[in-house]
C-alpha cells in the first residue's frame, strides 16, 4: 500500500534529487582526481625547471616543460615579485598592469606553491603558483548547470501536469453541475405546475405561498448549477442590496441566537458588475459556513468597503475558527471539517469569484475559539 503522502510529485522530486546528488558526488570525485593530476604535472614541470638550473644537457627538462601547455603557472621570487608566466594571455598581460597580479592573488587562494630554494643565506627562492585548467572548472560547475536543467524540467513538467489536471477537474465540475441542473429541471417544472394549481384553489393560503418560495428557490439553485462552466453575463448591481438580500434570506432560517450586522461605512449604493445568481451563491455559502462554525449562536458581521480600485467584503463569524494547518486547505475540493457535506461550497465559491468575477476570495484571518474572517475582493471594473 502506497503511503498517502507519496504521489507523483514526490516521486519526481525524489528521482531528480537522486540524479543531481549522484552527479554532484561523481563530479566532485572527478574534480579531485583532475586536481591531483594537475598538481603532479606542475610538480614535474617544477622539477624539470629545477634540473635545468644544474644540468648541461637541457633536452629532457625542456621537453617536459614544453609539454605542459594547459595549466597556467606564474613564477615569482621569494618576495612574490613576478618573474615569468606560462599558459596565460600574453596580450592581456602586456596591456593590463593588473592582469598578472590579479591572477597571482587568485592562484594563491587556490593552491599552495612549489618552492625551489636557490640559497639559504641570503635567502633566495623561486616560487611557482598555478591555477586550474578549463576542464577542471567545467567538471566543477557541471552539476550546477545540470541542477538548473533538472529544476527547469521539473517545473515545466509539474506545470503541464497541474494545468492538465485543473482543466480536467474544471470539465468534471462543469459536467456534474450541468447534469444536476438538467436532472432538476423536470421535477421543478412539475412542482411549479402543482403550485399554480394550488394557488388557483387557495390563492391566499400561507402554505402555498411558502411552497412557491421554495420552488422558486429550487429554480434558482438549478440556474446556478447550469451556469457553472459557462461564461456568465455580468450585470451592474448595487453590491450592498445584493448582500443585504442574502443576509435577510439566511437570517430567516438561522437561530434567534445569531446576531447579524452589516456595516457599509455610510454608503447606500456601491455599483459593481457581477453575476447575481452566482454571487448570491458565494455569499450564501460563506454565511452558512459561519452559522455551522458558530453552532447556532454568535455574531456574523459583514463589512462592505469601497476602495480606490476594488470593493472588499469581509464576512466574520465568532465561531470555532480554523486551525492554522487547515487554512491553506479550506478551498480544496473535498476538504471539510463537518460531519456531513462534500466540502465543495468554498471550492466552488472561490472559482466563481476568481474565474468569473476576476476577483479574490481568501481567509483574511482565523483564530481557534474566536472566529474567522473571509474576504472577497471584487474589481470595480471587470
Does residue 170 surpass a pLDDT of 80?
A: no
Residues 6+ away with beta carbon under 8 Å from 136: 31, 34, 35, 38
Per-residue pLDDT, averaged over 361-373, amounts to 93
Q: How confident is the model at residue 314 (pLDDT cuts 50, 70, 90)?
A: very high
Question: Can you list the positions of beta strands (E) in the chain?
Answer: 73-76, 82-86, 114-119, 124-130, 235-238, 258-263, 271-274, 298-306, 310-317, 360-367, 371-379
d(CA 278, CA 46): 83
Separation of alpha carbons 173 and 230, rounded Å: 11
Q: What is the pLDDT of residue 167?
A: 74
State the cell numbers at 137. Answer: 572548472
Q: Can you give the pTM of this predicted structure?
A: 0.52
pLDDT > 90: what percent of the chain? 23
Q: How far apart are CA 241 and CA 271, in angstroms?
A: 10
90-135 per-position pLDDT tens digit: 888 888 889 999 999 999 998 889 988 888 888 888 899 998 887 8
| Low-confidence winner among 124-138, 154-168, 245-259, 364-378 (lowest mean pLDDT) | 154-168
Residue 124 bridge partners (DSSP): 119
121-132 pLDDT, tens digit per residue, is: 888 888 999 988
Whole-angstrom CA distances from 130 to 62, 118, 121, 208 are 19, 20, 27, 99
Check if the beta carbon of residue 286 is closer than 8 Å to that of residue 349: yes
Three-state DSSP class for 379?
Answer: strand
Tens digits of residue pLDDT in 280-290: 889 999 999 99
Torsion, CA 249, CA 338, CA 346, CA 364, rounded to 10: 90
Cβ atoms within 10 Å, residue 222:
19
- CA proximity to 230, closest of 184, 278, 166, 174: 174
Residue 352 Cα to chain centre, angstroms? 22
Q: Is the pLDDT of residue 244 over 90?
A: yes
Query: What value does the mean pLDDT of the chain take?
Result: 83
Q: Which residues pair with 260 in a beta bridge?
A: 300
**DSSP labels, 294-348:** HTT-EEEEEEEEE-SSEEEEEEEE-SS---HHHHTTTTSTT---SSSS-S-HHHH
Percentage of the chain with pLDDT > 70? 90
CA distance 240 to 371: 23
Cα–Cα distance for residue pair 16/22, rounded to 1 Å: 10
Is residue 324 pLDDT above 90, yes or no? no
Could you check whether the bond before residue 353 is cis, i.e. omega within 30 degrees of 0?
A: no
Mean pLDDT of 352-361: 90
**Residue 1 pLDDT:** 43
Angle at 188 between CA 186 and CA 193, to 5 degrees: 100
* pLDDT over 80 (residue 229): no
Fold of 232-379: Heat Shock Protein 90 (3.30.565)
Does position 179 have pLDDT exceeding 80, yes or no? Answer: no
pLDDT of residue 339: 54
**Total count of residues recorded for the chain:** 382
Contacts 24+ apart (CB under 8 A), 111-120: 111/39, 114/42, 114/43, 114/46, 116/46, 116/49, 116/50, 116/53
Amino acid at each position: 500500500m502506497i503511503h498517502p503522502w507519496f504521489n507523483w510529485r514526490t516521486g519526481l522530486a525524489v528521482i531528480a534529487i537522486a540524479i543531481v546528488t549522484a552527479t554532484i558526488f561523481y563530479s566532485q570525485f572527478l574534480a579531485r582526481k583532475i586536481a591531483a593530476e594537475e598538481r603532479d604535472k606542475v610538480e614535474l614541470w617544477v622539477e624539470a625547471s629545477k634540473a635545468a638550473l644544474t644540468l648541461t644537457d637541457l633536452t629532457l627538462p625542456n621537453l617536459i616543460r614544453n609539454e605542459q601547455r594547459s595549466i597556467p603557472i606564474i613564477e615569482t621570487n621569494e618576495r612574490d615579485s613576478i618573474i615569468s608566466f606560462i599558459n596565460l594571455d600574453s596580450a592581456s598581460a602586456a596591456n593590463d598592469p593588473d592582469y598578472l597580479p590579479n591572477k597571482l592573488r587568485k592562484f594563491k587562494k587556490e593552491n599552495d606553491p612549489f618552492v625551489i630554494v636557490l640559497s639559504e643565506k641570503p635567502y633566495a627562492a623561486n616560487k611557482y603558483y598555478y591555477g586550474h585548467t578549463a576542464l577542471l572548472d567545467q567538471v566543477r560547475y557541471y552539476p550546477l548547470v545540470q541542477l538548473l536543467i533538472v529544476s527547469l524540467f521539473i517545473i515545466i513538467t509539474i506545470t503541464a501536469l497541474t494545468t492538465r489536471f485543473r482543466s480536467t477537474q474544471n470539465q468534471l465540475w462543469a459536467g456534474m453541475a450541468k447534469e444536476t441542473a438538467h436532472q432538476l429541471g423536470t421535477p421543478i417544472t412539475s412542482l411549479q405546475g402543482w403550485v399554480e394549481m394550488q394557488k388557483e384553489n387557495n390563492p391566499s393560503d400561507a402554505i402555498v405561498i411558502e411552497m412557491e418560495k421554495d420552488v422558486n428557490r429550487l429554480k434558482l439553485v438549478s440556474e446556478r448549477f447550469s451556469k457553472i462552466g459557462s461564461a456568465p453575463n455580468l450585470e451592474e448591481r448595487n453590491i450592498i442590496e445584493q448582500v443585504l438580500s442574502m443576509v435577510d434570506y439566511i437570517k430567516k432560517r438561522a437561530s434567534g441566537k445569531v446576531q447579524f450586522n452589516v456595516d457599509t461605512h455610510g454608503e447606500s449604493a456601491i455599483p459593481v458588475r457581477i453575476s447575481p445568481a452566482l454571487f448570491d451563491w458565494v455569499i450564501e455559502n460563506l454565511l452558512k459556513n459561519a452559522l455551522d462554525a458558530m453552532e447556532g449562536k454568535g455574531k456574523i458581521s459583514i463589512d462592505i468597503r469601497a476602495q480606490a480600485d476594488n470593493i472588499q467584503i469581509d464576512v466574520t463569524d465568532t465561531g470555532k475558527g480554523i486551525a492554522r494547518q487547515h487554512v491553506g486547505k479550506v478551498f480544496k475540493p473535498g476538504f471539510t471539517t463537518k460531519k456531513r457535506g462534500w466540502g465543495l461550497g468554498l471550492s466552488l465559491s472561490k472559482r466563481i469569484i476568481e474565474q468569473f468575477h476576476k476577483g479574490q476570495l481568501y481567509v483574511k484571518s482565523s483564530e481557534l475559539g474566536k472566529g474567522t474572517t473571509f474576504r472577497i475582493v471584487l474589481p470595480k471594473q471587470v
